[in-house]
Structure 1
Amino acid sequence: MESIIVFYDGWCPLCTRASRRLARLDWLGRLRFVSIREPGAAEEAGVPPERLAARLHVRSARTGRWAEGIWAVAAIAARLPLFWPLWPLLVAAGVSGLGQPVYDFIARRRAIVPAGQCDEHGCRLPGQGS
């Protein structure tokens, strides 16, 4: 199976934890992770930054084909042996039309902590004053 590039949100603590865990489970070396918050990442991807920030995106390293949201999660699961049992459920969720709304519900509620917003007193969230 071909490798994929996983475009994740480096300002999202949930996303960065998940990417680190998935990288440890990538025994076959099929995933490469790129934070969309790194300079030039959105331009390299050729996808508008707002769209990259709204959903997880993956791109096939060989064909350049894209998947996003629940389909990106399914693409990741297909490449990690530990997640192979979940792959059919993720595909069924995508095909049924239920997977994407559930994915979007979770994605809209994740925390975003912009780089440089933290100090010894904690982190300011977007929209908060100093």
Structure 2
Amino acid sequence: MKRDKLIVYYDSDCPLCTKVKNKWSKIDIFNNLEFYSFRNLNVSESLPIEQNKLEKEIYSQIKGKQVYFHGLDTLIEMNKRIPMICITVPFLWFSKKLGVGQKIYQYVADNRKILPSNQCNENQCDID
């Protein structure tokens, strides 16, 4: 089944988020996902989502439509579009319906590390 492309707004200041984005990009063989950092001023200014919400959890949008998802729903939508991992969708959906999926997602999101742009590289980190 053909699905509309999903635009995913991730946090490029989060090493975990960037790592996950890179892994999903590699297995997205049909190019059904587009990733944009909401830290990019051009991206964040064009979104009808408040910056503080973008900083708390991942958001996504069906390309060309004003249909938005966030948190676990974004992960479900992403997995629907990647044949290699679409088998996880029923588990994610069921965990959402039980009320534990979003809580687990939120725990991970709340405890991720943020490294402000241009302050760290492979060899050193200049954060005070």
Structure 1 length normalisation: TM-score? 0.90
What SS does the aligned partner of 2:91 have? Answer: helix
Identify the residue that residue 17 of structure 1 maps to in structure 2: 19
Identify the residue that residue 33 of structure 1 maps to in structure 2: 35
Q: Distance in 1 between matches of 2:65 and 2:110?
A: 29
Which one of the candidate residues 77, 80, 93 is aligned to 2:79?
A: 77
Which one of the candidate residues 102, 115, 118 is aligned to 2:104?
A: 102
The answer to whether structure 1 residue 117 and structure 2 residue 93 are counterparts is no
Question: Which letter does structure 2 place at the counterpart of 1:43?
Answer: E
Q: Decide which moves more: 109-118 or 1-10.
A: 109-118
Question: Which letter does structure 2 place at the counterpart of 1:13?
Answer: P
Structure 2 length normalisation: TM-score? 0.91
Shift of 1:64: 2.1
Q: How many residues align?
A: 126
Q: 1:81–1:121: structure 2 CA closer, same or farther, 3 Å change rule?
A: closer
The answer to whether structure 1 residue 5 and structure 2 residue 7 are counterparts is yes
Q: Deviations over 1:24-74 (max 9, x none)?
A: 111111100000111221121211111011001110014321111011000
Identify the residue that residue 61 of structure 1 maps to in structure 2: 63
Question: Which letter does structure 1 place at the counterpart of 2:83?
Answer: P
- Structure 1 vs Structure 2 CA RMSD: 1.5
Identify the residue that residue 51 of structure 1 maps to in structure 2: 53
Gaps of 5+ in 1: none
Gaps of 5+ in 2: none
Q: Distance in 1 between matches of 2:80 and 2:6?
A: 11
| Identity across matched positions, percent | 26
What SS does the aligned partner of 1:118 have? Answer: coil
Shift of 1:121: 6.2
Q: Deviations over 1:83-123 (max 9, x none)?
A: 11101011111122111111010001111001121268622
